[in-house]
Amino acid sequence: MRDTNSLEKILVLDFGAQYAHLICRRIRELGVYAELVPYDITNKEIAERKGRGLIFSGGPMSVYETNSPLPRMEIYKAGLPILGICYGLQALVFQNRGKVSNASRREYGKSPVYLLSHENPLFRGISSPTICWMSHGDAAESLPTGFQAIASSPNSQYAAIASDNLMYAVQFHPEVTHTAEGNKILSNFVFDICGCTKNWSTETMIDDAVADLKTLIGPKDKVLCALSGGVDSSTTAALIERAIGKRLICVFVDTGLLREGEKERTEDFFRPRLGKNLVIVDDSKRFLSGLKRVKDPEKKRMIVGREFIRSFERVQRRFGKIKWLAQGTLYTDIVESAKSAVSRNTQSKIKSHHNVGGLPKDLKFELIEPLKDLYKDEVRRLAATLGVPKELVFSHPFPGPGLAVRVIGEVTTDKLRIVRKASSIIEEELRKSGMHEKVWQAFASVGDDLATGVGGDARSVGHIVIIRIVESVDAMTADWSRISYDILEKISSRITNEVSGVTWVTYAISSKPPSTIEPQ
């Protein structure tokens, strides 16, 4: 692999925020290499990694708690520009002898931020007010000597601050897409304040990944790639195929938890490309019996993860020795499972995505996860550059545990039938109206609650189907789609007419946060 250490880079100190890695990715999008590093990195390590600028990420703790993560004091003498974000602002203020306290009002969601000066390089070209995403309970109460406020919001006197020696900090999150001019703010920091030049692109990413895989996989080793028919595993397969050709074996497992037509679509696309190296197994009975009577979503994820590995091990026995297992794990899968290597366990666990949390301890494979630093939209760009067809590049994400996490409560064949059919109606209607590619995900979910309906002249009792349609860039945050009433009406009436056992249809109007995208 190219020695990324020789690149000048922005180092993002990880204080455990869900969004810490997102900052890196936004900066890479600007064309500059960025890397997540432990919050207690030393100045020597910063110099060895050729850091040109430092960003302090957000984090879930309060700076005044004992054991809260804080950077080493020497970092303020490194002579590099610093940008603190949210908790990062509070750490900067606290360590430089300002005061941080619990704010009287938590500030959460979108807020107008008013610039107090257009002269500050961090805000060059930014409008005032500018809409920013806030998510904090603590706030700076008084600033350290040498600092001044450069922006404020209705609830934050110090929405942004700057010192006279290259230290900047913002209380909002410039890295999330809800902050309208967040990219411009990061770009001002990276290029104008740190003086970086562009050194990173999709092509360099592919070259690096292929070279890395060639070094890692021995000249005779075989790789088994778990293929789901989605963009992540297809891109993983395409990258590995570039590196090792016919030593790649792809396995598609019918778990009984798939979307309608998924198996057929996958076979149609991959069989001509992979021939005998595409293995399709039907293990649905085993998966469904493993899930019997299980209601807890975390348990469901673990069970699906475990059963997947069993399926792979069977294929492994059939093909003789296969050393490696490749998975299309993305960064969001890892961060939501709180498995970040550098976070030193400061991240909160949201969900164990099956391909991260559910691996058995006695795994008989070594793992390859070439996309594990990337987000979905980065993978889509990679896929397009690798020649993966458009319909696959833009297919909606589908969770590894499949419909098991869209069925609330116990997974039964009846509830599976309902979500499968209702989801396919939703996707079909969105395609017809040209909305399918405009939204991040669209699907149905069903639980055990029943509601009364009336069919013909008779009362009936049936399931409540929840329609979930969200817009997002990377699944870290998401907003419910303001889809037209006409489309919703068509979907609703088709579901009650065509899916037996459904009497009510509802639309989920919760964003992420505070909700997640999948119901479980």
Cβ-based nearer residue to ligand XMP, 163 or 445 = 445
Residue from 339, 397, 408, 492 in contact with ligand XMP (CB under 6 A): 397
**Would you call 107 a catalytic residue per the annotation?**
no
For residue 460, give both structure tokens: 């009936």
For residue 251, give both structure tokens: 């396995």
Nearest to 217 by CA among 187, 195, 248, 189: 248
Residue 475 makes contact with ligand XMP by CB under 6 A: yes
Residue from 175, 378, 427, 429 carrying the catalytic annotation: 175
Residue from 21, 35, 86, 196 carrying the catalytic annotation: 86
Q: How far is CA 520 from CA 70, 119, 447, 476, in A?
A: 34, 47, 11, 16
Residue from 172, 401, 415, 467 in contact with ligand XMP (CB under 6 A): 401
Collapsed DSSP state (helix, strand, coil) of residue 464: strand
Nearest to 333 by CA among 364, 359, 307: 359
For residue 461, give both structure tokens: 């009792």
Task: Count the site residues for ligand XMP by CB under 6 A.
Answer: 20
Question: What is the distance of C-alpha 487 from the center of its chain?
Answer: 28
With contacts defined by CB under 6 A, name the span among 346-354, 383-391, 429-437, 502-510 that binds ligand XMP.
Answer: 346-354
Cβ-based nearer residue to ligand XMP, 336 or 429 = 336
Least separation in angstroms between residue 431's CB and ligand XMP is: 19
Q: Are 214 and 243 in contact (CB under 8 A)?
A: yes
The number of helix segments (H) and strand segments (E) in the chain equals 15, 18
**Would you call 353 a catalytic residue per the annotation?**
no
Collapsed DSSP state (helix, strand, coil) of residue 89: helix
Least separation in angstroms between residue 84's CB and ligand XMP is: 27
Residue 395 makes contact with ligand XMP by CB under 6 A: no
State the Cα–Cα distance between residues 428 and 395, nearest whole angstrom. 13
Cβ-based nearer residue to ligand XMP, 122 or 176 = 176
Strand spans (E) along 62-98: 82-85
State the Cα–Cα distance between residues 188 and 81, nearest whole angstrom. 12
Backbone angles phi, psi at 69, to 5 degrees: -70, 130
Residue 400 makes contact with ligand XMP by CB under 6 A: yes
Q: Are 390 and 398 in contact (CB under 8 A)?
A: no
Amino acid (1-letter code) at residue 283: D
Residue 518 makes contact with ligand XMP by CB under 6 A: yes
Helix (H) or strand (E) holding 130: strand 130-142
Least separation in angstroms between residue 468's CB and ligand XMP is: 10
Residue from 21, 136, 173, 178 carrying the catalytic annotation: 173
In the window 267-326, what residues touch ligand XMP (CB under 6 A)? 301
Residue 230 makes contact with ligand XMP by CB under 6 A: no
With contacts defined by CB under 6 A, name the span among 83-91, 112-120, 196-204, 393-401 that binds ligand XMP.
Answer: 393-401
With contacts defined by CB under 6 A, name the span among 26-34, 152-160, 199-207, 328-336 that binds ligand XMP.
Answer: 328-336
With contacts defined by CB under 6 A, name the span among 63-71, 247-255, 454-462, 509-517 that binds ligand XMP.
Answer: 509-517
Cβ-based nearer residue to ligand XMP, 71 or 328 = 328
Residue 402 makes contact with ligand XMP by CB under 6 A: no
Residue 466 makes contact with ligand XMP by CB under 6 A: no
Residue 399 makes contact with ligand XMP by CB under 6 A: yes
State the Cα–Cα distance between residues 362 and 132, nearest whole angstrom. 46
Task: Provide Rg for the chain, Cα atoms.
Answer: 25
Cβ-based nearer residue to ligand XMP, 185 or 405 = 405
**Would you call 86 a catalytic residue per the annotation?**
yes
Cβ-based nearer residue to ligand XMP, 53 or 399 = 399
In the window 108-137, what residues touch ligand XMP (CB under 6 A)? none
Cβ neighbours of residue 508 closer than 8 Å, sequence gap 6 or more: 445, 466, 467, 468, 480, 515, 519
Residue 336 makes contact with ligand XMP by CB under 6 A: yes
Nearest to 34 by CA among 426, 507, 374, 314: 374
Which residues sit at the interface with ligand XMP, rule CB under 6 A? 301, 332-333, 336, 350-351, 353-355, 397, 399-401, 405, 441, 475, 512, 516-518
Report the catalytic residues.
86, 173, 175
